[in-house]
Structure 1
Protein backbone atom coordinates (compact mmCIF):
# COMPACT_ATOMS: atom_id res chain seq x y z
CA UNK A 1 0.00 0.00 0.00
CA UNK A 2 2.81 2.42 0.93
CA UNK A 3 4.66 1.66 -2.31
CA UNK A 4 1.58 2.57 -4.36
CA UNK A 5 1.33 5.93 -2.62
CA UNK A 6 5.02 6.63 -3.25
CA UNK A 7 4.66 5.79 -6.95
CA UNK A 8 1.61 8.06 -7.20
CA UNK A 9 3.40 11.05 -5.63
CA UNK A 10 6.42 10.59 -7.92
CA UNK A 11 4.15 10.56 -10.96
CA UNK A 12 2.42 13.77 -9.82
CA UNK A 13 5.75 15.55 -9.34
CA UNK A 14 7.01 14.54 -12.78
CA UNK A 15 3.92 15.61 -14.73
CA UNK A 16 2.94 18.81 -12.80
CA UNK A 17 4.34 22.04 -14.50
CA UNK A 18 6.60 24.12 -12.27
CA UNK A 19 7.29 21.26 -9.86
CA UNK A 20 9.39 19.05 -12.07
CA UNK A 21 13.02 19.74 -12.90
CA UNK A 22 12.30 20.34 -16.61
CA UNK A 23 9.87 23.22 -15.94
CA UNK A 24 12.44 25.19 -13.91
CA UNK A 25 14.98 25.56 -16.74
CA UNK A 26 15.76 29.36 -16.94
CA UNK A 27 16.38 29.13 -20.70
CA UNK A 28 12.73 28.28 -21.27
CA UNK A 29 11.38 31.26 -19.26
CA UNK A 30 9.74 34.02 -21.33
CA UNK A 31 11.13 37.27 -19.79
CA UNK A 32 10.44 40.75 -21.14
CA UNK A 33 13.51 42.96 -21.61
CA UNK A 34 14.01 45.66 -18.96
CA UNK A 35 13.66 49.13 -20.47
CA UNK A 36 15.30 52.07 -18.67
CA UNK A 37 13.77 55.41 -19.65
CA UNK A 38 15.80 58.56 -19.28
CA UNK A 39 13.98 61.49 -17.61
CA UNK A 40 12.58 64.03 -20.02
CA UNK A 41 14.59 67.25 -19.99
CA UNK A 42 12.50 70.41 -19.72
CA UNK A 43 13.79 73.84 -20.65
CA UNK A 44 12.95 76.40 -17.98
CA UNK A 45 12.92 80.07 -18.93
CA UNK A 46 13.92 82.44 -16.17
CA UNK A 47 12.84 86.06 -16.53
CA UNK A 48 15.65 88.54 -16.49
CA UNK A 49 15.71 90.95 -13.59
CA UNK A 50 14.89 94.55 -14.45
CA UNK A 51 17.86 96.87 -14.32
CA UNK A 52 16.11 100.22 -14.74
CA UNK A 53 17.65 102.55 -12.14
CA UNK A 54 16.65 105.95 -13.56
CA UNK A 55 13.20 107.42 -12.93
CA UNK A 56 11.82 110.59 -14.51
CA UNK A 57 8.36 112.12 -14.63
CA UNK A 58 6.04 115.01 -13.94
CA UNK A 59 3.62 115.88 -11.19
CA UNK A 60 0.79 118.28 -10.38
CA UNK A 61 -1.06 119.19 -7.23
CA UNK A 62 -1.55 122.00 -4.78
CA UNK A 63 0.78 123.90 -2.50
CA UNK A 64 -0.26 125.73 0.63
CA UNK A 65 2.15 128.65 1.05
CA UNK A 66 2.05 130.09 4.54
CA UNK A 67 0.17 133.43 4.63
CA UNK A 68 -0.61 133.17 0.90
CA UNK A 69 -3.23 130.43 0.68
CA UNK A 70 -3.33 127.37 -1.56
CA UNK A 71 -2.61 127.35 -5.29
CA UNK A 72 -1.96 124.93 -8.14
CA UNK A 73 1.49 123.34 -8.37
CA UNK A 74 3.34 121.81 -11.35
CA UNK A 75 6.76 120.24 -11.55
CA UNK A 76 9.29 117.72 -12.84
CA UNK A 77 11.36 115.12 -11.03
CA UNK A 78 14.30 112.84 -11.82
CA UNK A 79 15.63 110.11 -9.56
CA UNK A 80 18.41 107.55 -9.47
CA UNK A 81 17.90 104.34 -7.48
CA UNK A 82 21.19 103.48 -5.80
CA UNK A 83 19.88 100.27 -4.24
CA UNK A 84 16.50 98.60 -3.91
CA UNK A 85 15.74 100.76 -0.86
CA UNK A 86 17.77 103.95 -1.36
CA UNK A 87 17.40 106.63 -4.05
CA UNK A 88 18.32 110.26 -4.73
CA UNK A 89 15.96 112.68 -6.44
CA UNK A 90 16.09 116.15 -7.98
CA UNK A 91 12.83 118.13 -8.20
CA UNK A 92 11.75 121.40 -9.78
CA UNK A 93 8.33 122.91 -9.11
CA UNK A 94 6.48 126.18 -9.48
CA UNK A 95 3.27 127.80 -8.33
CA UNK A 96 1.67 131.24 -8.25
CA UNK A 97 1.13 133.01 -4.97
CA UNK A 98 -2.27 134.33 -4.01
CA UNK A 99 -3.04 137.23 -1.71
CA UNK A 100 -2.21 137.28 1.97
CA UNK A 101 -4.92 137.76 4.56
CA UNK A 102 -3.57 141.28 5.15
CA UNK A 103 -3.94 142.15 1.45
CA UNK A 104 -7.48 140.82 1.35
CA UNK A 105 -8.53 142.79 4.43
CA UNK A 106 -6.74 146.05 3.58
CA UNK A 107 -8.30 146.52 0.16
CA UNK A 108 -5.88 148.08 -2.32
CA UNK A 109 -2.66 147.46 -0.36
CA UNK A 110 -0.37 144.95 -2.09
CA UNK A 111 2.69 143.43 -0.43
CA UNK A 112 3.92 141.93 -3.72
CA UNK A 113 3.71 143.11 -7.30
CA UNK A 114 2.41 140.66 -9.87
CA UNK A 115 5.91 139.75 -11.10
CA UNK A 116 6.95 138.58 -7.62
CA UNK A 117 4.00 136.24 -7.18
CA UNK A 118 5.57 133.49 -9.26
CA UNK A 119 7.18 131.06 -6.83
CA UNK A 120 9.54 128.28 -7.90
CA UNK A 121 11.81 125.85 -6.10
CA UNK A 122 14.38 123.16 -6.76
CA UNK A 123 15.93 120.64 -4.39
CA UNK A 124 18.01 117.50 -4.11
CA UNK A 125 16.70 114.86 -1.72
CA UNK A 126 17.44 111.37 -0.46
CA UNK A 127 14.62 108.84 -0.22
CA UNK A 128 14.32 105.53 1.58
CA UNK A 129 11.72 102.83 0.88
CA UNK A 130 10.40 101.78 4.28
CA UNK A 131 7.47 99.48 3.50
CA UNK A 132 7.87 97.83 0.07
CA UNK A 133 5.19 95.30 -0.82
CA UNK A 134 2.29 94.52 -3.14
CA UNK A 135 -1.16 95.98 -3.68
CA UNK A 136 -3.84 93.46 -4.70
CA UNK A 137 -6.69 94.48 -6.98
CA UNK A 138 -9.16 91.61 -6.93
CA UNK A 139 -7.91 88.05 -6.64
CA UNK A 140 -5.58 87.83 -9.63
CA UNK A 141 -4.15 91.31 -10.12
CA UNK A 142 -1.26 92.58 -8.00
CA UNK A 143 1.03 95.60 -8.29
CA UNK A 144 4.32 96.34 -6.59
CA UNK A 145 4.26 99.38 -4.37
CA UNK A 146 5.67 100.87 -1.24
CA UNK A 147 5.81 103.78 1.17
CA UNK A 148 8.94 105.91 1.33
CA UNK A 149 10.29 108.82 3.34
CA UNK A 150 12.29 111.58 1.71
CA UNK A 151 14.18 114.69 2.73
CA UNK A 152 16.70 117.13 1.36
CA UNK A 153 17.64 120.74 0.70
CA UNK A 154 17.49 123.29 -2.07
CA UNK A 155 16.41 126.82 -2.88
CA UNK A 156 13.10 128.63 -3.26
CA UNK A 157 12.53 131.75 -5.35
CA UNK A 158 9.96 133.51 -3.15
CA UNK A 159 8.85 137.15 -3.35
CA UNK A 160 11.79 138.06 -5.57
CA UNK A 161 14.46 136.55 -3.27
CA UNK A 162 16.24 133.22 -3.04
CA UNK A 163 15.71 131.30 0.20
CA UNK A 164 17.59 128.24 1.41
CA UNK A 165 14.94 125.55 1.82
CA UNK A 166 14.78 122.24 3.65
CA UNK A 167 12.12 119.73 2.64
CA UNK A 168 10.83 116.59 4.29
CA UNK A 169 7.92 114.31 3.49
CA UNK A 170 6.45 110.93 2.68
CA UNK A 171 5.24 109.36 -0.52
CA UNK A 172 3.81 106.24 -2.09
CA UNK A 173 4.98 104.65 -5.33
CA UNK A 174 2.76 102.14 -7.18
CA UNK A 175 4.36 100.31 -10.10
CA UNK A 176 1.76 99.79 -12.82
CA UNK A 177 4.35 97.97 -15.00
CA UNK A 178 8.10 97.40 -14.83
CA UNK A 179 8.63 100.83 -16.46
CA UNK A 180 5.64 102.96 -15.34
CA UNK A 181 4.76 104.09 -11.81
CA UNK A 182 2.17 106.25 -10.08
CA UNK A 183 3.41 108.47 -7.25
CA UNK A 184 1.69 110.43 -4.50
CA UNK A 185 3.71 112.84 -2.34
CA UNK A 186 3.27 115.07 0.69
CA UNK A 187 6.15 117.48 1.40
CA UNK A 188 6.86 120.32 3.78
CA UNK A 189 9.12 123.03 2.32
CA UNK A 190 10.62 125.08 5.16
CA UNK A 191 12.44 128.38 4.76
CA UNK A 192 12.83 131.66 6.62
CA UNK A 193 11.43 134.97 5.39
CA UNK A 194 10.93 138.50 6.74
CA UNK A 195 8.35 139.50 4.14
CA UNK A 196 5.75 140.44 6.77
CA UNK A 197 8.15 142.43 8.96
CA UNK A 198 9.80 139.85 11.21
CA UNK A 199 12.04 136.87 10.45
CA UNK A 200 10.05 133.66 10.73
CA UNK A 201 10.27 130.04 9.64
CA UNK A 202 7.48 129.18 7.21
CA UNK A 203 6.00 125.76 6.51
CA UNK A 204 4.70 125.32 2.97
CA UNK A 205 2.86 122.05 2.42
CA UNK A 206 2.76 120.32 -0.96
CA UNK A 207 0.24 117.65 -2.00
CA UNK A 208 1.01 116.21 -5.43
CA UNK A 209 0.64 113.20 -7.66
CA UNK A 210 2.13 112.17 -10.97
CA UNK A 211 3.52 109.52 -13.29
CA UNK A 212 7.13 108.43 -13.70
CA UNK A 213 8.90 106.12 -16.11
CA UNK A 214 11.92 103.89 -15.46
CA UNK A 215 14.75 103.30 -17.89
Structure 2
Protein backbone atom coordinates (compact mmCIF):
# COMPACT_ATOMS: atom_id res chain seq x y z
CA UNK A 1 0.00 0.00 0.00
CA UNK A 2 2.86 2.32 0.83
CA UNK A 3 4.52 1.60 -2.50
CA UNK A 4 1.34 2.35 -4.38
CA UNK A 5 1.03 5.70 -2.58
CA UNK A 6 4.64 6.59 -3.44
CA UNK A 7 4.11 5.62 -7.07
CA UNK A 8 0.91 7.68 -7.28
CA UNK A 9 2.61 10.76 -5.81
CA UNK A 10 5.53 10.34 -8.18
CA UNK A 11 3.20 10.31 -11.17
CA UNK A 12 1.44 13.47 -9.96
CA UNK A 13 4.82 15.17 -9.56
CA UNK A 14 5.90 14.22 -13.10
CA UNK A 15 2.65 15.45 -14.62
CA UNK A 16 2.89 18.75 -12.75
CA UNK A 17 6.53 19.15 -13.78
CA UNK A 18 5.67 18.58 -17.44
CA UNK A 19 2.86 21.12 -17.19
CA UNK A 20 5.20 23.71 -15.74
CA UNK A 21 7.75 23.10 -18.52
CA UNK A 22 5.07 23.46 -21.24
CA UNK A 23 3.82 26.68 -19.69
CA UNK A 24 7.36 28.04 -19.56
CA UNK A 25 7.90 27.22 -23.28
CA UNK A 26 4.58 28.84 -24.19
CA UNK A 27 5.53 32.02 -22.31
CA UNK A 28 8.92 32.11 -24.05
CA UNK A 29 7.30 31.64 -27.47
CA UNK A 30 4.79 34.40 -26.72
CA UNK A 31 7.56 36.77 -25.66
CA UNK A 32 9.56 36.00 -28.82
CA UNK A 33 6.49 36.56 -31.00
CA UNK A 34 5.72 39.86 -29.35
CA UNK A 35 9.31 41.03 -29.90
CA UNK A 36 9.17 40.39 -33.71
CA UNK A 37 8.27 43.49 -35.73
CA UNK A 38 6.79 43.11 -39.22
CA UNK A 39 8.42 45.44 -41.77
CA UNK A 40 6.09 46.56 -44.56
CA UNK A 41 7.87 47.21 -47.90
CA UNK A 42 7.78 50.66 -49.42
CA UNK A 43 5.31 50.27 -52.27
CA UNK A 44 5.95 52.77 -55.04
CA UNK A 45 3.48 52.52 -57.87
CA UNK A 46 4.92 53.82 -61.13
CA UNK A 47 2.71 56.01 -63.27
CA UNK A 48 1.56 54.34 -66.46
CA UNK A 49 2.28 56.24 -69.65
CA UNK A 50 0.93 55.67 -73.13
CA UNK A 51 3.33 54.06 -75.60
CA UNK A 52 4.79 56.42 -78.17
CA UNK A 53 3.63 54.77 -81.39
CA UNK A 54 4.39 56.47 -84.69
CA UNK A 55 1.33 57.24 -86.76
CA UNK A 56 2.93 58.61 -89.95
CA UNK A 57 0.81 57.91 -93.04
CA UNK A 58 2.79 59.83 -95.67
CA UNK A 59 5.99 58.72 -97.41
CA UNK A 60 7.99 60.86 -99.83
CA UNK A 61 11.18 59.72 -101.52
CA UNK A 62 13.07 58.84 -104.68
CA UNK A 63 13.99 55.70 -106.60
CA UNK A 64 16.57 54.49 -109.10
CA UNK A 65 16.67 51.33 -111.17
CA UNK A 66 16.42 49.88 -114.66
CA UNK A 67 13.68 49.94 -117.29
CA UNK A 68 13.49 47.50 -120.17
CA UNK A 69 11.49 49.12 -122.98
CA UNK A 70 10.27 46.58 -125.52
CA UNK A 71 12.28 46.81 -128.77
CA UNK A 72 14.60 49.44 -127.25
CA UNK A 73 16.73 47.61 -124.69
CA UNK A 74 17.35 48.24 -120.99
CA UNK A 75 18.35 51.60 -119.56
CA UNK A 76 18.55 53.41 -116.24
CA UNK A 77 15.43 54.93 -114.73
CA UNK A 78 14.91 57.32 -111.84
CA UNK A 79 12.10 59.32 -110.29
CA UNK A 80 10.24 60.50 -107.22
CA UNK A 81 7.29 58.99 -105.39
CA UNK A 82 4.70 59.86 -102.76
CA UNK A 83 2.80 57.22 -100.77
CA UNK A 84 -0.25 57.72 -98.58
CA UNK A 85 -1.34 54.85 -96.32
CA UNK A 86 -5.14 54.66 -96.41
CA UNK A 87 -5.28 51.76 -93.93
CA UNK A 88 -2.64 49.35 -92.54
CA UNK A 89 -3.24 47.12 -95.60
CA UNK A 90 -3.80 49.66 -98.40
CA UNK A 91 -1.89 52.63 -99.76
CA UNK A 92 -2.07 54.95 -102.76
CA UNK A 93 1.09 55.84 -104.64
CA UNK A 94 1.90 58.66 -107.05
CA UNK A 95 5.13 58.20 -109.06
CA UNK A 96 6.95 60.31 -111.63
CA UNK A 97 9.62 58.40 -113.54
CA UNK A 98 11.99 58.96 -116.43
CA UNK A 99 14.37 56.91 -118.54
CA UNK A 100 16.62 57.90 -121.45
CA UNK A 101 15.99 55.12 -123.94
CA UNK A 102 18.68 54.06 -126.39
CA UNK A 103 18.37 53.17 -130.04
CA UNK A 104 16.02 50.41 -131.11
CA UNK A 105 17.39 47.10 -132.38
CA UNK A 106 16.15 47.68 -135.91
CA UNK A 107 17.74 51.16 -135.92
CA UNK A 108 21.12 49.55 -135.34
CA UNK A 109 20.43 47.09 -138.14
CA UNK A 110 19.55 49.74 -140.75
CA UNK A 111 21.96 52.26 -139.22
CA UNK A 112 19.34 54.98 -139.21
CA UNK A 113 17.70 57.00 -136.42
CA UNK A 114 13.90 57.14 -136.41
CA UNK A 115 13.55 59.05 -133.13
CA UNK A 116 14.88 62.40 -132.08
CA UNK A 117 16.75 62.77 -128.80
CA UNK A 118 13.65 64.25 -127.16
CA UNK A 119 11.43 61.38 -128.35
CA UNK A 120 13.81 58.83 -126.84
CA UNK A 121 12.81 59.90 -123.33
CA UNK A 122 10.39 57.54 -121.60
CA UNK A 123 8.45 59.66 -119.08
CA UNK A 124 5.55 58.39 -117.02
CA UNK A 125 3.10 59.73 -114.44
CA UNK A 126 1.55 56.92 -112.44
CA UNK A 127 -1.22 56.53 -109.90
CA UNK A 128 -1.42 53.10 -108.31
CA UNK A 129 -2.98 51.35 -105.35
CA UNK A 130 -1.37 48.61 -103.28
CA UNK A 131 -2.71 45.80 -101.10
CA UNK A 132 -0.61 44.09 -98.44
CA UNK A 133 -0.46 40.31 -98.84
CA UNK A 134 2.36 39.47 -96.39
CA UNK A 135 3.96 41.12 -93.39
CA UNK A 136 6.66 39.99 -91.03
CA UNK A 137 10.33 40.64 -90.27
CA UNK A 138 13.48 40.67 -92.35
CA UNK A 139 16.81 39.68 -90.82
CA UNK A 140 20.12 41.21 -91.88
CA UNK A 141 22.75 39.54 -89.76
CA UNK A 142 22.28 38.04 -86.31
CA UNK A 143 21.16 41.19 -84.50
CA UNK A 144 19.48 43.30 -87.19
CA UNK A 145 15.79 42.69 -87.82
CA UNK A 146 13.25 44.98 -89.46
CA UNK A 147 9.52 45.01 -90.06
CA UNK A 148 8.77 44.23 -93.70
CA UNK A 149 5.75 44.05 -95.98
CA UNK A 150 4.93 42.72 -99.46
CA UNK A 151 2.28 44.48 -101.54
CA UNK A 152 0.54 43.85 -104.83
CA UNK A 153 0.39 47.04 -106.91
CA UNK A 154 -1.87 48.03 -109.82
CA UNK A 155 -2.92 51.31 -111.39
CA UNK A 156 -3.09 53.66 -114.35
CA UNK A 157 -0.42 55.84 -115.92
CA UNK A 158 0.30 58.24 -118.73
CA UNK A 159 3.44 57.55 -120.76
CA UNK A 160 5.18 59.95 -123.13
CA UNK A 161 7.51 58.14 -125.50
CA UNK A 162 8.37 58.06 -129.21
CA UNK A 163 6.43 61.24 -129.91
CA UNK A 164 3.24 59.84 -128.37
CA UNK A 165 1.30 60.27 -125.15
CA UNK A 166 -0.53 57.08 -124.21
CA UNK A 167 -2.56 55.86 -121.25
CA UNK A 168 -1.61 52.45 -119.98
CA UNK A 169 -1.73 50.06 -117.05
CA UNK A 170 0.90 49.23 -114.49
CA UNK A 171 1.01 46.22 -112.17
CA UNK A 172 3.59 44.49 -110.03
CA UNK A 173 4.74 44.12 -106.44
CA UNK A 174 6.58 46.09 -103.77
CA UNK A 175 8.78 44.78 -100.97
CA UNK A 176 8.93 47.41 -98.23
CA UNK A 177 11.39 47.31 -95.30
CA UNK A 178 10.91 49.71 -92.38
CA UNK A 179 14.48 50.41 -91.26
CA UNK A 180 13.73 53.14 -88.70
CA UNK A 181 10.67 55.05 -87.50
CA UNK A 182 11.25 57.60 -90.30
CA UNK A 183 12.84 55.69 -93.22
CA UNK A 184 11.78 52.81 -95.48
CA UNK A 185 13.51 50.86 -98.24
CA UNK A 186 11.39 49.84 -101.21
CA UNK A 187 12.12 47.22 -103.86
CA UNK A 188 9.68 47.40 -106.78
CA UNK A 189 9.12 45.14 -109.76
CA UNK A 190 6.42 46.28 -112.17
CA UNK A 191 5.28 46.08 -115.76
CA UNK A 192 4.21 49.10 -117.81
CA UNK A 193 1.58 47.78 -120.24
CA UNK A 194 1.38 50.35 -123.04
CA UNK A 195 -0.18 50.26 -126.50
CA UNK A 196 2.31 51.94 -128.83
CA UNK A 197 1.93 53.03 -132.44
CA UNK A 198 5.43 53.26 -133.88
CA UNK A 199 6.10 53.52 -137.62
CA UNK A 200 2.49 52.45 -138.36
CA UNK A 201 3.04 49.36 -136.22
CA UNK A 202 0.46 49.38 -133.43
CA UNK A 203 0.94 46.83 -130.66
CA UNK A 204 0.69 46.27 -126.92
CA UNK A 205 4.11 46.44 -125.29
CA UNK A 206 5.44 45.13 -121.97
CA UNK A 207 8.06 47.33 -120.35
CA UNK A 208 9.60 45.84 -117.21
CA UNK A 209 11.01 48.06 -114.47
CA UNK A 210 12.94 47.20 -111.32
CA UNK A 211 13.93 49.92 -108.89
CA UNK A 212 15.12 50.55 -105.36
CA UNK A 213 13.71 53.51 -103.45
CA UNK A 214 14.17 55.31 -100.15
CA UNK A 215 11.20 57.05 -98.54
CA UNK A 216 11.01 59.34 -95.54
CA UNK A 217 7.96 59.05 -93.26
CA UNK A 218 5.97 62.14 -92.28
Alpha-carbon shift at residue 193 of structure 1 (Å): 1.2
- Distance between the aligned counterparts of 1:47 and 1:101, measured in 2? 59
SS in 2 for 1:115: coil
| CA distance in structure 2 between the partners assigned to 1:124 and 1:76 by the alignment | 12
Distance 1:188 1:24, change over 3 A: closer
CA-based RMSD: 2.3
Deviation at 1:40, TM superposition (A): 5.2
Q: What SS does the aligned partner of 1:138 have? A: coil
Matched, 1:74 2:78: yes
Q: Is this contact kept in 2: 1:13–1:19, CA < 8 A?
A: no
**Aligned counterpart, 1:124:** 127
Q: Choose between structure 1 and 2: higher helix proportion.
A: 2
Unaligned 5+ residue runs, structure 1? none
Equivalence for 1:6: 8
Which runs of structure 2 are paired with 1:93-104 in the superposition (5 Å)? 93-104=97-108
Gaps of 5+ in 2: none
1:80 and 1:87 in contact (8 A); partners too: yes
* Counterpart position of 1:155: 158
Q: How does 1:44-193 map to 2 (within 5 A)?
A: 47-107=51-111, 109-193=112-196
**Counterparts of 2:27 and 2:187 in 1: how far apart (Å)?**
87
Number of residue pairs aligned between Structure 1 and Structure 2: 213
1:45-81 Cα distance to aligned partner (Å, 9 max, x none):
6532210110111000110011111111010000001
Distance 1:84 1:28 in 2: 68
SS at match of 1:15: helix
2:181 match: secondary structure: coil
Q: Work out the CA distance in 2 between the residues paired with 1:180 and 1:119.
A: 29
Normalised to the residue count of structure 1, the TM-score between the two structures is: 0.89
Contact 1:189 1:205 in 2 (8 A): yes
